[in-house]
Structure 1
């Protein structure tokens, strides 16, 4: 492998979806300060996750990735972090029981502060300003001051991510993730929610299994703590490059801003700066593939991003849309599999199913999201390959951003509590409903 590229070399290649800063000296200063800060995650943790991603690729584990479309600094609080963690733990218990394999829990948090945009500028009432690119770049308020890209925000990302990871580590090792407590939360959901009542049978089965374990005196450490990993789209090259360090054990570069980082659909050009950066780091990595991706694209990316064909190194995250998944996914899986490329396949059923409601809100239909997951499972079942995991944009709060589901939220109900600054998320009830639905798919996979 060639030597690790400099930031200047990456920009010379051509980096898409990068903000334009008007103070180069301030940007350079922020990047230099980031380079001197401690790592947020450790190389050994990334290596552990890579082994688990490899297991998911073989069908010996299942990946559950979830969290905000775009985090915001104001919500990096203990309550919000706890709620996000809680709903992912609840989903994981249901999926673990159904799949009878470990569920690898990956939070879309502690770094998901930047978002690609379809246009660099936004116009409202004749006023044109830079588009909101996430709190890592600028503010959401539509004013010249707020929308100005500010390099100081790169440091704010670091500090917000550090505080979030500290909370996650405290929660997951301090008893909050206890299996019996998480199951009690799910039992409450089944008991008190009209939606949850449909899943009484599964909840009762889990309850009996736990009662049996207690009766025979089984009480392993895994009942009381969990491994939890952080992830985000590594979009802003200044931040990601500054947070890349050479591990003293392996002498290989790792991105220490998150355990699992991925390339988005808009930045996966084979000759682009993001692919060039990603092919050098030793983290487990992902790459989004949408309906425009061809089988040749997928194979070329696999060869470039994982030249040693290492299991667990590369995850393809597919995002086709519920009406395209059954037609678009098979050629990619067939060609990659035929060439012997080691890839773990994950479904992102969110991004291909977004539309604007009649009330003006960006939304998704729960049934469309579910249909894409079902299509993902069906394709892999037909091809004899492994559906390795799912990625959902969700929150532990009772927001109203996705229509449908057992709550039967309609377009007019979106205004009640629509809080996302970018894309709509499944709320707490929809997330748990999704888990029970996917559990049924896993049982028949």
Structure 2
């Protein structure tokens, strides 16, 4: 959560009032995609009722703070970094793995802050990314067909009937795992772990590696800037703590609805499962349940846009999700593919500029560049990821709009899931340490390398 903020008990949230429930539940009358077929609906309803009574994971005041920070991005005065696991797992919510993800995002943010000469809003795909959309409802192995794995909040990855049967009790475990993850993030981002000088020293070590020498010059520039700040008497006590917000795809509708509360200050609904939620490419139907529900909550909302998105699609999403044209309310997360983005994105940017809307534009260079190797590994080429990022910046320079941020699937561990980078991971190398249960992630070194490359693009844009 935004862990720099002490919660004022007067800003707590309360149970939904009866007169607000009807609108929040309108989604139930709409087509609803990517939901698990619970074998016992009564059990699922009981879990939802329980979740309606648990404390919120985040608070309305924190959500408002994020929306205010995102408004500065919409005005071209800040940049967003959003990163974390493709699919969090309950087993992976360990102190070491959470620390490593937070460390990686903090390291990337320092580099991007310098490259952009702008503040960086930091959001983790953390503390809630437990449900995943799938291209097929079922998976077949050796003639056996079972339900597809939909994330730990729905079912297990192990290929057995017991594991793959959707279990609503997992929503409760997801809630408690998210709560413990947020507590640990609070400790890391408020207890000195985020000290600018320490984070920069980690980056300096990365740049001094002979494989990363091309980034040594930028690291030295940042080093001089930090030393200048020290000499000028900057208060580094204020730079030991950072705002860090939680985000995930708002996919599992029963969970998101159950975690929605009415803010006692304003009487408005907030989804307290995360500060920021996004609607996926597979669930952004204009008449669908997800768009309807998230149009009614006060959280900042993202929408994934693929290469087939039309200007009309975009405009109608704006009208539904941001009818009052509030800066910071709506973010478009583009996932176009390296070979498509230079043609598909400019018309959308141009149309948005000609409207009264101010959506934030973030690039997701991961999901449009997936491939499967002959040995069966789902992977991405680092060069394709970088090329899509470059195409994103080129499109914004062409139109004259603000490139608002970067959204990446990453881990702080030394996995081998994406090919390329200075580590030169090849197809055979994928077998060394491939750990993702869904999509491949950039490892720690690849994530830092990408941040230095993005900083170069930001510097060009700013010049």
Q: TM-score range by the shorter chain?
A: over 0.9
1:338 paired with 2:354, answer yes
Q: Alpha-carbon deviation of 1:8?
A: 5.8
Compute the RMSD of aligned alpha carbons.
1.2
Match of 1:260 in 2: 276
Q: Determine helix, strand or coil for the equivalent of 1:287.
A: strand
CA 5–71 in structure 1, closer or farther in 2 if over 3 Å, else same: farther
1:223 to 239, 243, 252: 239
Q: Alpha-carbon deviation of 1:189?
A: 1.2
| C-alpha distance in 2 between matches for 1:54 and 1:162 | 27
Match of 2:295 in 1: 279
Q: Determine helix, strand or coil for the equivalent of 2:121.
A: strand
Match of 2:135 in 1: 118
1:389 to 405, 422, 443: 405
2:121 to 87, 93, 104: 104
Match of 1:174 in 2: 191
Q: Alpha-carbon deviation of 1:176?
A: 0.4
Give per-residue Cα distances to partners, 1:50-91, cap 9 Å, x unaligned: 111111122100000000000000011111100000000000
Match of 2:7 in 1: none
TM-score by length of 2: 0.94
Match of 2:333 in 1: 317
Are the counterparts in 2 of residues 5 and 277 from structure 1 also a CA contact under 8 Å?
A: no
CA 232–280 in structure 1, closer or farther in 2 if over 3 Å, else same: same
Q: Alpha-carbon deviation of 1:340?
A: 1.8
TM-score by length of 1: 0.98
Bigger Cα displacement from structure 2, 134-143 vs 338-347: 338-347
Give per-residue Cα distances to partners, 1:336-393, cap 9 Å, x unaligned: 2211212010000000000101221000000000110100000001101010001000
| C-alpha distance in 1 between matches for 2:50 and 2:406 | 36
2:172 to 155, 159, 167: 155
Match of 1:86 in 2: 103
1:413 to 407, 416, 429: 429
Give per-residue Cα distances to partners, 1:280-325, cap 9 Å, x unaligned: 0000110000012111000100111001010000000000000000
Are the counterparts in 2 of residues 7 and 237 from structure 1 also a CA contact under 8 Å?
A: no
Q: Alpha-carbon deviation of 1:142?
A: 0.6
Are the counterparts in 2 of residues 195 and 433 from structure 1 also a CA contact under 8 Å?
A: no
| C-alpha distance in 2 between matches for 1:65 and 1:222 | 23
Q: Alpha-carbon deviation of 1:125?
A: 1.1
Pairwise mapping of residues 430-445 of structure 1 onto structure 2 (< 5 A)? Answer: 430-445=446-461
Q: Alpha-carbon deviation of 1:187?
A: 1.0
Match of 1:48 in 2: 65
Match of 1:400 in 2: 416
1:372 paired with 2:388, answer yes
Are the counterparts in 2 of residues 136 and 157 from structure 1 also a CA contact under 8 Å?
A: yes
Q: Alpha-carbon deviation of 1:5?
A: 4.4
| C-alpha distance in 2 between matches for 1:7 and 1:311 | 23
Match of 1:329 in 2: 345
Are the counterparts in 2 of residues 400 and 427 from structure 1 also a CA contact under 8 Å?
A: yes
Q: Alpha-carbon deviation of 1:221?
A: 4.2
1:189 paired with 2:226, answer no
Bigger Cα displacement from structure 2, 212-221 vs 249-258: 212-221
Q: Determine helix, strand or coil for the equivalent of 1:419.
A: coil
| C-alpha distance in 1 between matches for 2:107 and 2:166 | 38
| C-alpha distance in 1 between matches for 2:213 and 2:33 | 47
| C-alpha distance in 1 between matches for 2:35 and 2:62 | 29
Are the counterparts in 1 of residues 294 and 321 from structure 2 also a CA contact under 8 Å?
A: yes
| C-alpha distance in 2 between matches for 1:413 and 1:163 | 34
Match of 2:83 in 1: 66
Match of 2:50 in 1: 33
Are the counterparts in 2 of residues 4 and 280 from structure 1 also a CA contact under 8 Å?
A: no
Bigger Cα displacement from structure 2, 24-33 vs 214-223: 214-223
CA 354–366 in structure 1, closer or farther in 2 if over 3 Å, else same: same
Give per-residue Cα distances to partners, 1:416-437, cap 9 Å, x unaligned: 0000000000000000000000
| C-alpha distance in 2 between matches for 1:327 and 1:405 | 26
Pairwise mapping of residues 1-12 of structure 1 onto structure 2 (< 5 A)? Answer: 5=22, 9-12=26-29
Q: Alpha-carbon deviation of 1:4?
A: 5.0
Bigger Cα displacement from structure 2, 52-61 vs 70-79: 52-61
| C-alpha distance in 2 between matches for 1:295 and 1:275 | 17
Are the counterparts in 2 of residues 129 and 142 from structure 1 also a CA contact under 8 Å?
A: yes
Q: Alpha-carbon deviation of 1:12?
A: 2.6
Q: Alpha-carbon deviation of 1:11?
A: 2.8
Q: Alpha-carbon deviation of 1:196?
A: 2.5
1:199 paired with 2:212, answer no
| C-alpha distance in 1 between matches for 2:398 and 2:232 | 40
Are the counterparts in 2 of residues 90 and 183 from structure 1 also a CA contact under 8 Å?
A: yes
Q: Alpha-carbon deviation of 1:195?
A: 3.0
Q: Determine helix, strand or coil for the equivalent of 2:282.
A: helix
Unaligned runs of 5+ in 2: 1-18
